[in-house]
Amino acid sequence: MTTAHVRLGVIGAGNVGRAFVRLLNDQTRRVALVDAATATLEIVGVAVRDASRPRSGIDSSLLVEDPLALAAREDVDIVVELAGGIEPTRTWIETALRRGASVVTGNKALMAECGTALATLANDNRADLLYEASVAGAIPIIRALRTSLAGEKINRVLGIVNGTTNFILSQMTSEGWGYDEALDEAKRLGYAETDPTADVEAFDAAAKVQILSSLAIGTALHGEPISREGIRTVRSVDVEFARRAGYVIKLIGVVERVGESGISRRTHPALIPLEHPLAAVHGAMNAVFIEGDQSGPLMWLGQGAGGVPTATAVLGDVLHAARNRVAGRHDIPFTVDDRLVSVDAGDLSSVFYLSIDVRDEPGVLAQVAGVFGQHDVSIQSMEQSGFAHEARLAFLTHAARARDVTSTLRGLDQLAAVDSIGACIRVIDGGGA
Ligand SMILES: NC(=O)c1ccc[n+]([C@@H]2O[C@H](COP(=O)([O-])OP(=O)(O)OC[C@H]3O[C@@H](n4cnc5c(N)ncnc54)[C@H](OP(=O)(O)O)[C@@H]3O)[C@@H](O)[C@H]2O)c1
């Protein structure tokens, strides 16, 4: 029996693209790759912006500068998109899918923006659209949701899906650093970009939450914005309060069922109880914690970024797509559940950590407690620190509606004795942990 032959066109030879080509050409893996793909695999072109620049590990004769032409080439069976961005990347992928080529991508921004339309196009053309590398790097969470957990009702997904922010918050926790110092260290070590906005303002995490939600619950991927809060406002005093109270602050992505057909998708910093498995996810690591109806809690931990770990997820998808092509089949896209309704984050209840800077004067506590009472937010515990103009009050509330907590903060801000509002951070319950 002759072995089938599958041809790949790779768009992008940056961190992930280069690592992917190296893995695919690694002779020590050759037998395993042919076995997994049920085919021999050949890279026939690698598109970059500047083909005159040599790329280590990539034969210069393969380099081209026209990704669209590579995506359109009839002899390319699988297009591996590792360039990033929305346009013209979307056009390249659509071009490949329209002629029935499969596409493997690590592009979370694009999948969050138009994943449903692209998945439909792939299905219409009997091709695969696979994107394991788009969420949590090397962690095989997409395949787990699509296959092993396909029949499970998933109630909640909590993810630490951005390594940069987890590194920054971990440094603030372990070293007692401020946000700026921890961000500088993340930049020095290559964990943060020169412009860290996508990470620290949680755009990156929000796109991953959208993708997890589509697979876990069945929401569509069409660029609908979700509630997003980053970590710029987290201060070292908040991190220190959390530690004393038995918590650690993490940026988390949340996908949560609310009642029968409600869904909440959001990213925000949260106080995680130290006994929760996510509290032990340090540095630039990623983790996804799933609460299944019947499975109970499950957690995946691993490297969420970096060229080589991410390339392993790309390679897994390429092997799967190759196997599918040889067998003349393709994966069906995830089903969108049209009955799902987004619940406003303001309507959700949780315990909150709040802090305010106040003047150290008689009667201040009574005034502050009065404002909490007016808005039906009850106080679980309070801590006072500092004195004179440096006094600080920190509270843990009982479970309260976010909308009422916001009104409380607005009311507190009106008090003459309150100098400023410090923090307002949700506390994650132990859930299925
Ligand atoms: N890096 C990670 O850890 C990681 C993790 C998970 C997912 N991802 C995703 O993987 C993708 C690639 O990330 P990366 O870090 O490898 O990016 P990168 O290092 O910036 O590399 C991008 C590559 O794409 C090429 N490229 C970009 N625009 C192009 C255009 N218009 N025409 C031709 N070539 C073009 C670049 O060519 P030149 O080399 O000539 O500039 C470069 O080789 C992104 O979608 C990213 O979100 C990355």
Q: Give me the residue spans of the domains in the chain.
A: 4-137+307-327, 141-302, 345-427
Long-range contacts of 57-61 (CB under 8 A, 24+ apart): 57/18, 57/21, 57/22, 57/25, 58/13, 58/18, 58/21
Distance (Å) of CA 309 to CA 64, 65, 81, 144, 331: 25, 26, 16, 17, 24
Q: What number does the ligand 1 atom closest to the CA of 53 have?
A: 40
Q: Which fold has domain 345-427?
A: Alpha-Beta Plaits (3.30.70)
Q: Ligand 1 pocket: which of 49, 108, 317 to mutate (most atoms <8 Å of CB)?
A: 49
Cross-strand pairs, 354: 395, 424
The token pair at 75 is: 């002899």
First to last CA, the chain: 51
Cis preceding-peptide flag for 88 (omega within 30 of 0): yes
Indicate whether residue 50 lines ligand 1 (CB < 6 A): yes
The token pair at 313 is: 């997820």
Indicate whether residue 48 lines ligand 1 (CB < 6 A): yes
CA-closest candidate to residue 97, choices 116, 70, 79, 75: 79
CB 357 within 8 A of CB 419: yes
- C-alpha of residue 355 to centroid of ligand 1, in Å: 41
Distance (Å) of CA 228 to CA 90, 129, 253, 257: 24, 27, 9, 18
Q: Ligand 1 pocket: which of 310, 315, 318 to mutate (most atoms <8 Å of CB)?
A: 310
Percent helix, percent strand, percent coil in the chain, to nearest 5: 40, 25, 35
Alpha carbon distance 46, 25 (integer Å): 14
CB 243 within 8 A of CB 173: yes
Q: What number does the ligand 1 atom closest to the CA of 313 have?
A: 6
The H-or-E segment that residue 120 falls in is: helix 108-124
Q: Which fold has domain 4-137+307-327?
A: Rossmann fold (3.40.50)
* Residue 224: how many other CB atoms lie within 10 Å: 12
Distance (Å) of CA 73 to CA 44, 48, 106: 10, 16, 21
CATH hierarchy code of domain 141-302: 3.30.360.10
Per-residue tens of pLDDT for the chain, all 433 residues:
789 999 999 999 999 999 999 999 999 999 999 999 999 999 999 999 999 999 999 999 999 999 999 999 999 999 999 999 999 999 999 999 999 999 999 999 999 999 999 999 999 999 999 999 999 999 999 999 999 999 999 999 999 999 999 999 999 999 999 999 999 999 999 999 999 999 999 999 999 999 999 999 999 999 999 999 999 999 999 999 999 999 999 999 999 999 989 999 999 999 999 999 999 999 999 999 999 999 999 999 999 999 999 999 999 999 999 999 999 999 999 899 999 999 999 999 999 999 999 998 889 999 999 999 999 999 999 999 887 777 999 999 999 999 999 999 999 999 999 999 999 999 998 754 3
CA angle, 58 then 51 then 64, to 5°: 80
Say whether 208 is catalytic. yes
Query: How far out from the chain centre does Cα 283 lie?
Result: 15
Indicate whether residue 64 lines ligand 1 (CB < 6 A): no
Alpha carbon distance 215, 188 (integer Å): 35
Longest dimension (CA), the chain: 89
CA-closest candidate to residue 145, choices 198, 219, 92: 219
Q: Helix H segments across 274-394?
A: 307-327, 364-374
CA-closest candidate to residue 119, choices 139, 144, 133, 102: 102
Alpha carbon distance 182, 172 (integer Å): 6
Distance (Å) of CA 37 to CA 25, 76, 142, 307, 324: 14, 16, 19, 22, 8
* Residue 370: how many other CB atoms lie within 10 Å: 11
